[in-house]
A and B are shown apart, each in its own frame.
Chain A
């Protein structure tokens, strides 16, 4: 496995670096003490994911602008609803406005509109065959890159719309450092659940050849059942109960509720962790199935 950015086999002890680059000594020292090659590999992939997306600065600024505009438009609708029904579902107007800007903030890191993974392209072109023979888990590999992408998008596409919402309408903030920490954990778990779903959608292309149909189905489920369009707490009756039990709730509604202090933190994080584990497990099984399915057509 020469020069592919540090991917070393399970027996290798030494990390290899791309040709022509010296080992990054400073950041190496900053690594945690358990500097096993596996961790170093995934950390490197995380950084690559961050840096790859950090190239597109203009696009990120444009995205943040669009998220803000939509946040303003949707906020007015929610304000009108909560003015007609004060205290609906335990939210007041400020909670509803905050919820609205949080949903816009989550669009980037949670990749609510789907995609974000190079993997689906690689399945279509057949390059995934090379990914599958790498001596590292395809799912973890992709997850590490995706977390890097999410970190970058959190900085450029989550923070500005939220600040704009705070300036234009005023928003509520978590009560203390503990609440902020719980929110941070909830966002990370939300990104992982979102990744696990998108990973399954990307792999589906191995079976259906053209995965755009699956992607649009996934988009519908994500938009509606995550809380992106309306808070799940105002969905009526059984629809509300169902929506709040499905994995998509872990992407937007649950992190927003943790932020607003409307949810029991342990239960909320447990719910997200459970879905993350279940979906990553499904992803592992799907990856194994793909390994048996891939046919490489020569050249």
Chain B
């Protein structure tokens, strides 16, 4: 475990040094990453310029849900977002090199071309969360849930990314399918799930457990009724959902690695 963490940090540091060779571009990229994601919150502000409530939720509440999911998603993207390149590593033969190195292939993929620009997104989501929290008037005895939901959300997103990455051992040519679940999950959790149709909400509660990233624990923090009337206990189920997803992801990754066949290039 410690050895793996050392390898990961070493690889990350190496790639960050490489990225720093073009300081002007790096600054623009980090700023760009911050601003691209800030566009989503700009969209939320424009929506609330026209209406005081969206599907029963006010602006600070939506910003809270956006910020918590955003931090989880951005941290997961920073750690595991690069797994969506596995298909291209397989096609180019770069994955062969990773397999014969004395380090975990998963960590090598995760750290490959790590760029400090990914901090831009974490910063953006954290700023939104920091703006939202004092405006919510929440009961602070419920605030313990906030770090729990961010960590659970991080694990859930990393697991989705890992499963999507593992799927590329089969679908080498179609990495974009994974985007529907990874970035799609990031998009979905930006808004209260009451916006979406009932079947979709049940699907992201019981099939792809995105509802446990911020929606169910968020209802607890905000002390709100569940518009779909799902059991109250689900609000505390995020860590369990994260654990199950992590196990599934580990199994999927192993299964994917076993099926790996070099393209020979």
A interface residue numbers (CB < 8 A to B) = 56, 58-59, 61-63, 65-66, 69-70, 72-74, 76-77, 80-81, 84-85, 88, 208-210, 212-214, 216-217, 219-220, 223-224, 229-230, 234-236
Contacts and interface: CB of A to CB of B under 8 A. Distances in A.
Contacts of B50: 81, 84-85, 88, 234
Nearest to B54: A80
B114 interface: no
A238 B184 CA distance: 32
Contact of B54 (A70, A81, A217): A81
B179 interface: yes
B47 interface: yes
Given A65-B180, A66-B180, A76-B195, A216 B47 contact: no
Contacts of B197: 76
B187 A84 contact: no
A170 to B, nearest CB: 14
A235 B25 contact: no
Nearest to B21: A210
Contacts of A63: 176
A141 B160 CA distance: 42
Interface in B8-25: 22, 24-25
Contacts of A234: 46-47, 50
Contacts of B117: 216
Contact of B36 (A81, A88, A213, A220): A220
Given A56-B173, A66-B179, A217-B28, A236 B40 contact: no
Contact of B176 (A59, A220, A229): A59
Interface string B47-63: 10111011100000000
Question: What DSSP secondary structure best describes chain B's contact surface?
Answer: helix
A74 B200 CA distance: 13
B169 interface: no
B187 A70 contact: yes
20 contacts: A59-B173, A59-B174, A66-B184, A69-B180, A70-B187, A72-B200, A73-B184, A77-B47, A80-B54, A80-B191, A81-B50, A210-B25, A212-B25, A213-B28, A213-B29, A216-B36, A219-B32, A220-B32, A220-B36, A229-B39
Contacts of B187: 70, 73-74
Interface string B189-211: 00100011100100000000000
Interface range on chain B: under 10, 10 to 19, 20 to 34, or 35 or more? 35 or more
Given A77-B195, A230-B47, 16 more contacts: A56-B173, A59-B175, A63-B176, A66-B176, A66-B177, A66-B183, A73-B188, A76-B196, A77-B54, A80-B54, A84-B54, A210-B22, A213-B25, A217-B28, A229-B42, A235-B46
A69 B171 CA distance: 18
B29 A216 contact: yes
B148 interface: no
Given A56-B173, A213-B29, A80 B179 contact: no
B35 interface: yes
B43 interface: yes
A142 B176 CA distance: 25
A210 B174 CA distance: 28
B24 A70 contact: no
B33 A216 contact: yes
Contacts of B174: 58-59, 61-62
Contact of B51 (A65, A85, A216): A85
Nearest to A231: B46
A219 B38 CA distance: 13
